[in-house]
Amino acid sequence: MAIEVVDTTLGPVEGTLGERVHVFKGIPFAAPPVGPLRFKPPQPPAPWTEAKPVQEYGPAAPQPRDLVLEQMFGHAPFPTSEVSCLTLNVWTPHRGAENRPVMVWLHGGAFLTGSGRDPVFDGSRLASLHDVVVVTVNYRLGALGFLYLGELLGDEYASSGNVGLLDQIAALRWVRDNIAAFGGDPGNVTLFGQSAGAMSVLSLMAMPAAQGLFHKAIAQSGSAECTHTRERATAVARDVLAALALPEHEAHRLLELPVATLLYAQQSVVEVMRQRGDALGLPFAPVVDGPTLPRAPLEAFTSGAASPVPLIAGTTLEEGRLFLVGPESPNVDDAAVTALFDTEFDKPEEALEAFRGVQPDTSPMGLLAALMGERMFRAPTARLLEAHAARTSQVWTYLFSWRSSARGGQLGACHSLDLPFVFDNLHAGGADRFTGKDAPQRLADALSSAWASFAHHGHPGVPWPAFDTAHRATMVFDVTSRMVRDPWNGVRLLTDSSWRPPSCESDGCRGFLTCSSG
């Protein structure tokens, strides 16, 4: 195995020279967030002088096991460690060119699970086929990354509710300071992410500390509305204490509890919230704390306070179907769907007809999935696009509509199905258990090429008009991709006039459906 050594500002790192790319895995970008640094902003790691081997992925951030996804993809759970989780991975094409565009990926997982080491996120093909440098990042999750303790432990912990986002900023600073040594251009960084990763991208666009660290953004199936107020986040912190049977005056004991104990309490809170349909099952999410996140991201976009970088944002056609697959899937019939639409809409019959007009599956389960996708992803994305397009013309939107054949077609064009296509990793281990055996390579070519063109040139590269509220031009990605004007017109006009989905704030999903968001 050929070795490649690159000097960084912290010390030399020793990666591998693959067939198409140089690969550097598990590079530390922050000090171990343990001991006095638990719930604190990331600090620089100690420098080193000898070449540090970075040929194996670092462990993921501590997280509960996701048994549904393990079964779906056939993967063992990620190894985890609180001590050494803050690492990143770099794929860069063989030398011969410098100042390549940089694409920094933030994984999803409901701010609870996930890792930059997921096989679907291997950057080899994206880097080598499209001449970009790819970086994937680990950040703190769950209570370790998003438990707000400012009201319980004082100003020293005022930013504790956003240290997961601050980890991402620390990784972007590492990219700014070091990526040139790997052939990348620190002045041309595209930040992209999906689900909670997309929510992170949009939050970073609203954070002063992140300004100037990236120059374009892609938000896949995200929302600029999933944040908590300090009051709401403090209530979650009190729920964690209650799960641990700790009185408030002993909140300082959270600093020294074993990780397993903290994860147990965290999961207890998550399950209670999901059972009552509260806040999309996202008790741990970015907090509008003032110092780090001054205002909710959508408010920042609407007021012009968000970074005006070029943006691609979109969704899959059937986002909600992923959350209706598994042993706890609800039993839904026509009467239940009719009752739900009666509750949600002023004009339920018109609403049902509008949803039937845009969904390939109009069964009761298909309509329930469509309503979930509308509330959680499509409508928030539309509001984001409208707000950002009012400030810049460099905004594009898409709809991923190709339907998976896996699991007897139950998944459809569900949440996260676009990921192996974006990274052009249809043959990654387990991917076909999600996409089915017939996933079209031409779709992976189209999607990865559009994202890479955006990174290179600041636009998607194909005949794809920018978004505006008059035409709502939308690229529909399918076996044969095509441009469509306002594909959600019927649903959009109906929901704009008779129903406005709540945000992820305290009443996010209450009374709607017990669900989770990835």
Q: How far apart are CA 473 and CA 500, in angstroms?
A: 22
Return the CA Rg of the chain: 22
Instruction: Please return the burial class of 407, using the count of CB atoms within 10 Å of its CB with bins 0-12, 13-18 and 19+.
Output: middle
How distant is the alpha carbon of residue 64 from its chain centre? 17
Nearest to 185 by CA among 214, 211, 207: 214
Nearest to 39 by CA among 287, 274, 231: 287
319 catalytic? Reply is: yes
The secondary structure of 398-422 as a DSSP string is EEE---B-GGGGTSBS-TTTTHHHH
Instruction: DSSP letter for 256, please.
Output: T
- Find the DSSP H helices in 319-378: 334-344, 348-358, 364-373
84 catalytic? Reply is: no
Nearest to 458 by CA among 94, 187, 123, 107: 187
- Half-sphere exposure (CA, 13 Å, Cβ side) for 181? 19
Catalytic residue among 318, 319, 344, 374: 319
Nearest to 515 by CA among 338, 373, 308, 400: 373
> Residues 26-63, buried b or exposed e (16+ Cβ, 10 A)?
bbbbbbbbeeeebbbbbeebeeeeeebebbebbbbbbb
- Encoding tokens for residue 168? 């991402």
Q: At what angle do helices 489-498 and 348-358 cross, to 10 degrees?
A: 150
Catalytic residue among 415, 481, 503, 517: 415
**Between β-strands 311-316 and 395-400, what pairing exists: parallel, antiparallel or unpaired?**
parallel
Tell me the one-letter amino acid at 67.
L
First-to-last CA distance in the chain?
A: 37
Catalytic residue among 195, 203, 221, 416: 195
Q: How far apart are CA 130 and CA 77, in angstroms?
A: 31
Cα dist from 383 to 60, 207, 404, whole Å: 33, 19, 28
* Strands (DSSP E) found in 228-338: 228-229, 287-288, 311-316
Q: How far apart are CA 313 and CA 195, in angstroms?
A: 11
The secondary structure of 428-457 as a DSSP string is STTTHHHH-TT--HHHHHHHHHHHHHHHHH
Instruction: DSSP letter for 183, please.
Output: T
Show which residues are catalytic.
195, 319, 415
